[in-house]
């Protein structure tokens, strides 16, 4: 009644038969269920996939344009990087590599932060809110799986995590979705200690599917001092050689 559709029609939709369902019908159901923005987007993606199923394909990997790398390199006092929908770190500046030195040391290129979260014990020390980060990561991947159902590489990543991580299997089964474009990350770096960093993320309009992420610290905070210390450490000990100076995890 709240959605403005008949009981029989709603049961048919719940069973996955959305043929002929208009945008107004989907809007009515989303409003009746009080879905938030991320859940509403996920619902629409599932509806479109039900109406027009797509075959999975493995398209060419997206390479970051040189001009984008120049932008990252020009950001000297904040960690910044570009990732894809699978959380592969495709391009970084030097401070981002220093911040994520453990992940870069433990994975081949390009490193993947979802694998780091679920499969690397060091992630529980790096993320001070590891449980929340893990839940957010599973929710983000579920959102992306509905948005790009033809992405075989994403499906392969989800299959790998499901096979190797019991926690991921449980969180994936919860069917939660997440979309966070801004917030605070509470981290612990093995060299400079605790950091509370603000993050902002935005899609690169010139390269759809890629996201620019930047971490910053409040100017007079201890985290700002830690970032400056991290920059000094990176300058005197290039990130490419950090794995020899990082403590064992």
| pLDDT tens-digit readout, 225-248 | 999 999 999 988 654 444 444 544
- Cβ atoms < 10 Å from Cβ of 235: 11
Residue 36: both structure tokens together = 């938030």
pLDDT of residue 55: 55
For the residues 58-63, what does the mean pLDDT come to?
Answer: 59
Mean pLDDT score of the chain, rounded to an integer?
Answer: 86
| pLDDT tens-digit readout, 75-117 | 999 999 999 999 999 999 999 999 999 999 999 999 999 999 9
Residue 52 has pLDDT above 70, yes or no: no
Tokens 């208009």 belong to 22
Separation CA 187–CA 35 (nearest Å): 31
- Report the largest interatomic distance among the alpha carbons of the chain, rounded to a whole angstrom: 69
Q: Is 169:160 a contact under the CB 8 Å cutoff?
A: no
pLDDT of residue 17: 75
Residues in Cβ contact with 209 at an 8 Å cutoff, skipping those fewer than 6 apart? 62, 84, 85, 148, 203
Separation CA 183–CA 248 (nearest Å): 30
Q: Which of 20-24, 97-101, 197-201, 219-223 has the lowest mean pLDDT?
A: 20-24
Residue 19 has pLDDT above 80, yes or no: no
For the residues 205-228, what does the mean pLDDT come to?
Answer: 94
pLDDT of residue 242: 47
Residues in Cβ contact with 27 at an 8 Å cutoff, skipping those fewer than 6 apart? none
Find the helix or strand (DSSP H, E) in which 146 lies: helix 130-147
Q: Vertex 99, ends 227 and 190: CA angle to 5°?
A: 90
Q: Is 51:19 a contact under the CB 8 Å cutoff?
A: yes
Separation CA 169–CA 172 (nearest Å): 5
Domains of the chain: 7-51 (no CATH), 66-244 (3.30.450.180)
Quick one: what percent of the chain has pLDDT higher than 70?
87
| pLDDT tens-digit readout, 130-149 | 999 999 999 999 989 888 88
pLDDT of residue 11: 83
Separation CA 183–CA 199 (nearest Å): 5
């Amino acid at each position: 009644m709240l959605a403005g559709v008949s009981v029989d029609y709603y049961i048919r939709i719940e069973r996955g038969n959305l043929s002929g369902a208009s945008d107004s019908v989907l809007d009515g159901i989303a409003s009746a269920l009080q879905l938030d923005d991320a859940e509403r987007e996920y619902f629409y993606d599932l509806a479109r996939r039900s109406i027009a199923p797509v075959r999975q394909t493995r398209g060419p990997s997206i390479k970051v344009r040189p001009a984008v790398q120049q932008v990252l390199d020009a950001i000297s006092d904040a960690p910044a990087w570009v990732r894809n929908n699978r959380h592969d770190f495709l391009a970084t500046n030097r401070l981002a590599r220093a911040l994520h030195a453990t992940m870069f040391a433990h994975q081949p290129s390009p490193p993947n932060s979802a694998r780091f979260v679920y499969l690397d014990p060091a992630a529980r020390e790096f993320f001070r809110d590891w449980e929340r980060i893990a839940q957010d990561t599973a929710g983000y991947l579920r959102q992306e799986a509905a948005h790009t159902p033809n992405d075989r590489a994403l499906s392969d990543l989800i299959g790998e995590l499901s096979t190797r991580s019991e926690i991921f299997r449980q969180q994936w089964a919860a069917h939660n979705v997440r979309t966070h474009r801004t917030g605070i990350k509470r981290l612990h770096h093995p060299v400079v200690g605790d950091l509370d960093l603000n993050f902002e993320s935005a899609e690169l309009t010139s390269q759809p599917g890629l996201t620019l992420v930047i971490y910053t610290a409040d100017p007079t905070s201890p985290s700002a001092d830690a970032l400056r210390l991290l920059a000094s450490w990176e300058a005197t000990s290039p990130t490419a050689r950090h794995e020899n100076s990082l403590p064992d995890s």
